[in-house]
């Protein structure tokens, strides 16, 4: 059995930022979301 998790503190980091007109564009990584879980493998 193994435990897995990503971004457990739920922090969001921008990999790049740009501005255009009245807007600011923020680019975040594709796997920016928080997740966690348990993985189990059984052999019969």
Summarize pLDDT for 1-44 with one digit per residue, the tens: 899 887 777 777 777 888 888 888 888 776 667 788 998 988 98
The alpha carbon of 23 is separated from its chain's Cα centroid by a whole number of angstroms, namely: 24
Alpha-carbon gap, residue 26 to 31, rounded angstroms = 15
- Count how many domains the chain has: 1
Structural domain span for residue 20: 2-39
Output the pLDDT for position 7. 74
pTM for the model? 0.41
- 34 part of a folded domain: yes
> What local confidence, expressed as pLDDT, does residue 38 receive?
93
**10 assigned to some structural domain:** yes
Q: What is the pLDDT of residue 31?
A: 67
- Specify if 44 maps to a domain: no
């Amino acid at each position: 059995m193994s435990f897995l998790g990503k971004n457990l503190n739920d922090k969001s980091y921008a990999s790049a930022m740009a501005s255009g007109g009245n807007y600011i564009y923020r680019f975040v990584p594709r796997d920016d979301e928080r997740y966690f879980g348990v993985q189990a493998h059984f052999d019969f």
